[in-house]
Structure 1
Amino acid sequence: MKRHVFSPLSNRSYRTFFFSQVFTDLGNWLDLLALGALITFTWKLGLEANSAAVIAMGAPFLLIGPFASVWVDRLSSRMVLLHSTFLRILVIIGFLLAENLYMLLPLIFLKSALASISEPARQSLLRHLVPTEEMAEASALGQMVSNGMKMIGPAIGGLLLTFSSPAAVFAVEGVLYLIGWVIMLALPRVQAAADYSRDEKQGFVRDVAEGVRFLFGNPLIRSAVMIVGLSMFIIFLYDGFLPPLVQALGMDTLGYGLVTGAVGAGSVLGALLTGQFTQWRNWPILFMAVGRIVSGLLLLVAAAGVLYGFAHGNTALWVVIFAVTGAVGVGMTVPYAYLLQTQTPKELIGRVSAVAMAVQGIAIFTAPSLGAILGKWLGLGWVFVLAGGFTVLLGAASMWRAQEKKSLTSSASM
């Protein structure tokens, strides 16, 4: 029978995994606006407090994830996922009880620390549940859920804030985590990915180093991680400039809502198409490289809109352009997730995925500050010129490298 993007859902174990991800990912993104509203509107705090919250969200992926991922490989990934999800429920209860920023920041840090553990555990568990021949489709479904919840979660959170308070958002978030945790109870028991019985004295640093060496020693994974890491850096140079960009393109608040919705919808559609048409498995790096070139060209179109008034006020055209941008972006992340799963040994999947997340975390931490400096120095339009140009160059360099080493385009399918 011919496979399609939803084929993995016929696997009962994966189906359980999938629906648990739907609820937990929705919970992950539900409080994005609520935390900001609590800090800014309820407690009347300024930019410093919001910046501190952002740092507390991101720091664990750099400081905690790579080391904690050792336990993901040493222990049952199902058990790690269950425990980390349950602890996040307790953290949400802490959100409800927090009375000031000094109580809230450690809770935000702890929630992200648990996320930095649960994500590698989820990747490790996925490896046990899905056969290699269906991993492309499963990776696409995972990205569909992730990108869909990034769009739906803040929208629901904003709606709840309109009629209630941040506390109500946190309560709903806790219920979503609880539902996801209950679903996880039906996941099959799996053994630890790695057997350390022969070397119990091996330390954390050596274990993490083993994951780092494998990541940068595997040509396919190294190429994928570098493409995604550099792409994330470029994206976060301009990510905070979307509202002024929409305004500069001649659109109002409604246009901003339509554009952001188009990016999310395009991401979901892109994931479905990438999962349905999986011929890219034979040349994943080339596929990612072409996606970078297309993304860069679309950014240059947006720059032309700011600098030269191209399609000024044409909301319909910009909605289509941003929808395509979202779809093309997922065309990068699905092969990336697929390569991590199929090229990494089971006993290393937790560490390798955590180190890969840390590489992205470095980009997320450093790029926004540089983007703000460039925005003040060069202006909005030229920031997008730089971002688009560098993205095109990244895609072209990746394509040249992939064609130079043909093994990058064939070994993924072996």
Structure 2
Amino acid sequence: MFSLPAFRTIWMGQFVSIFGDFVAIFAVVSMITFRWHGSATQVTIAITLALVPLAIIGPPAGVLVDHWNVKRVMIGSDLSRAVIAVLLAWMTNSWQIGMVLFALGCASSLFVPAQSIAVRTLIPRERLLQANAMLMQAFYLIRIISPLVAAAIVSALSEKACFYIDSGSFVFSALMIATLTIHRPPREGADKTLSGLSKDFAEGNRFIFTHPGLSFVFLAMAIAMFVMSSFMPLISIFVRDVLHGATRTYGVVSSCVGFGMILGTTLVTKISRGKARPGVVVMGLLSLGVATAVLATSRIPFQAGVSTFLMGFSIAMVLIPAQTMSQQETPPQMVGRVSSTFMSMISIAQVFGLLLSGSAAQRLGMQRLFAVCSAVLVVIAAAGWMFLRSRRQPEAAAA
């Protein structure tokens, strides 16, 4: 894949930009938890505010991006986020942090569908699964590195340094994108009125939810992200209260997610052989249920690390087939709308997971909550397997 100059440029820009994002998020969680001695609810609210724009603004933003110059949209989004990220260094409470993260989410809601269009335009269709896998591997590698690096930066310099690094990473991404040449034919006769844009929005959603394969993997992806987002804000509190650890332990346990994601990505690429397979998604859901059960019984950092490793492994097996199917099966003129709905479903699942995690953990206790989620995931995986089996039987009979 690195023999393709356009992919190499996108990969480098995203590697640096995502690294900055993770460093900043780690600094936010660390600052609220360990410096301000905040609660799980405060951490949850701050992270939720970053996701709300992607959930609400994302789908209509995708419709607009389908009509706009994607290169300009990506550069404008990156430069806007570079300015906004600097503001994090001057915030003094979790609510202020949340407002800045909300603004970052608004800018990101335009970048995500634009990037998906760029990848679909620049990368041959038969290499999309490999391209998505390698972009995800960059994401996962950063997931490993960033908590350890961010913990060292916070310890040596403070959280402000992490926020400045995040700002610089957006500038670097914009410079990389500026070197790309994206030839995307304009949509002839496209209706850009409010009525026309509304029809485009409805058309994109109708395509997703009437496509049996896409509708299933999108739903599975939303479930997986709901579980993952429920746990992420609780892990810092879990490390502090159950494992009796501090920032460094939290960094190690968080990094294990990335190791699992890299292994999961490699396995998905080998199993799928260039084509997204819904059956892999079912395996991912079942594996996520097992990982959650391990977390429910964790008493020492090593056991917690094993569970987060398995979580990362499982999420890769769900996300990559879902994202690749959304690109392979979608007509080129609808990629922005479909990809933004994809991200919206992820964000909605994350928002609900974050909002419910704090109160559910207080009512049930964190470990009991993890056990309940494990059981639900196993049931959903079984239902998904039966659904796919029922689809294969008529196809086999017709053949």
Q: Deviations for 1:337-391, whole angstroms, at most 9, x for unmatched residues?
A: 1111101111111111111222222222222343333333333333222111111
Per-residue deviation at 1:240?
Answer: 3.4
Q: Deviations for 1:308-365, whole angstroms, at most 9, x for unmatched residues?
A: xxxx65x656644542332222111111111111011111111111112222222222
Which of 132, 136, 139 is matched with 2:129 structurally?
Answer: 136
Distance 1:82 1:290, change over 3 A: same
Question: In the alignment, is residue 352 of structure 1 matched against residue 354 of structure 2?
Answer: no
The one-letter amino acid paired with 1:131 is P
The worse-fitting range, judged by mean Cα deviation, of 324-333 and 247-256 is 247-256
Question: In the alignment, is residue 273 of structure 1 matched against residue 267 of structure 2?
Answer: yes
Tell me, in whole angstroms, the C-alpha distance in 2 between the residues paired with 1:250 and 1:291: 27
Question: Secondary structure of the residue that 1:259 maps to in structure 2?
Answer: helix
Tell me, in whole angstroms, the C-alpha distance in 2 between the residues paired with 1:352 and 1:57: 21
Which of 78, 87, 112 is matched with 2:80 structurally?
Answer: 87
Which of 156, 164, 168 is matched with 1:171 structurally?
Answer: 164
Q: Which residue of 2 aligns with 1:366?
A: 352
Tell me, in whole angstroms, the C-alpha distance in 2 between the residues paired with 1:47 and 1:265: 25
Per-residue deviation at 1:37?
Answer: 5.9
Tell me, in whole angstroms, the C-alpha distance in 2 between the residues paired with 1:81 and 1:408: 44
Question: In the alignment, is residue 335 of structure 1 matched against residue 321 of structure 2?
Answer: yes
Tell me, in whole angstroms, the C-alpha distance in 1 between the residues paired with 2:94 and 2:241: 35
Contact 2:65 2:110 in 1 (8 A): yes
Which of 14, 20, 24 is matched with 1:27 structurally?
Answer: 20
The one-letter amino acid paired with 2:114 is A
Tell me, in whole angstroms, the C-alpha distance in 2 between the residues paired with 1:104 and 1:388: 32
Contact 1:285 1:408 in 2 (8 A): no
Q: Deviations for 1:79-106, whole angstroms, at most 9, x for unmatched residues?
A: 2112211221222344456688787655
The worse-fitting range, judged by mean Cα deviation, of 14-23 and 162-171 is 162-171
Tell me, in whole angstroms, the C-alpha distance in 1 between the residues paired with 2:78 and 2:377: 36
The worse-fitting range, judged by mean Cα deviation, of 387-396 and 86-95 is 86-95
- Normalising by structure 2, we get a TM-score of 0.86
Q: Which residue of 1 aligns with 2:173?
A: 180
Contact 2:41 2:358 in 1 (8 A): no
Question: In the alignment, is residue 161 of structure 1 matched against residue 147 of structure 2?
Answer: no
Q: Which residue of 2 aligns with 1:109?
A: 102
- Structure 2 gaps, min length 5: none
1:383-394 matched pairs, under 5 angstroms: 383-394=369-380
Distance 1:379 1:278, change over 3 A: same
The worse-fitting range, judged by mean Cα deviation, of 294-303 and 220-229 is 294-303
Distance 1:168 1:290, change over 3 A: closer
Tell me, in whole angstroms, the C-alpha distance in 2 between the residues paired with 1:187 and 1:52: 37
Which of 2, 9, 25 is matched with 1:16 structurally?
Answer: 9
Q: Deviations for 1:250-294, whole angstroms, at most 9, x for unmatched residues?
A: 685576554332222111222233234434836x11111012112
Tell me, in whole angstroms, the C-alpha distance in 1 between the residues paired with 2:394 and 2:230: 29
Tell me, in whole angstroms, the C-alpha distance in 1 between the residues paired with 2:97 and 2:208: 35
Q: Which residue of 2 aligns with 1:199?
A: 191
- Structure 1 gaps, min length 5: 1-7, 307-311
The worse-fitting range, judged by mean Cα deviation, of 54-63 and 151-160 is 151-160
Contact 1:77 1:125 in 2 (8 A): yes
- Normalising by structure 1, we get a TM-score of 0.83
Q: Deviations for 1:190-215, whole angstroms, at most 9, x for unmatched residues?
A: 225x6152434344333222221111
- Count of aligned pairs between the two proteins: 394
Tell me, in whole angstroms, the C-alpha distance in 2 between the residues paired with 1:95 and 1:355: 28
Contact 2:45 2:354 in 1 (8 A): no
The one-letter amino acid paired with 2:22 is W
Per-residue deviation at 1:21?
Answer: 1.0
Tell me, in whole angstroms, the C-alpha distance in 2 between the residues paired with 1:48 and 1:387: 19
Question: Secondary structure of the residue that 2:66 maps to in structure 1?
Answer: helix
Q: Which residue of 2 aligns with 1:4?
A: none
Tell me, in whole angstroms, the C-alpha distance in 2 between the residues paired with 1:146 and 1:408: 39
Tell me, in whole angstroms, the C-alpha distance in 2 between the residues paired with 1:386 and 1:71: 40
The one-letter amino acid paired with 1:238 is F
Contact 1:235 1:387 in 2 (8 A): no
Question: In the alignment, is residue 215 of structure 1 matched against residue 208 of structure 2?
Answer: yes
Identical aligned pairs, as a percentage? 22
The worse-fitting range, judged by mean Cα deviation, of 358-367 and 345-354 is 358-367
Tell me, in whole angstroms, the C-alpha distance in 2 between the residues paired with 1:326 and 1:99: 32
Contact 1:141 1:275 in 2 (8 A): no
Distance 1:207 1:164, change over 3 A: same
Q: Which residue of 2 aligns with 1:290?
A: 283
Contact 1:73 1:347 in 2 (8 A): yes
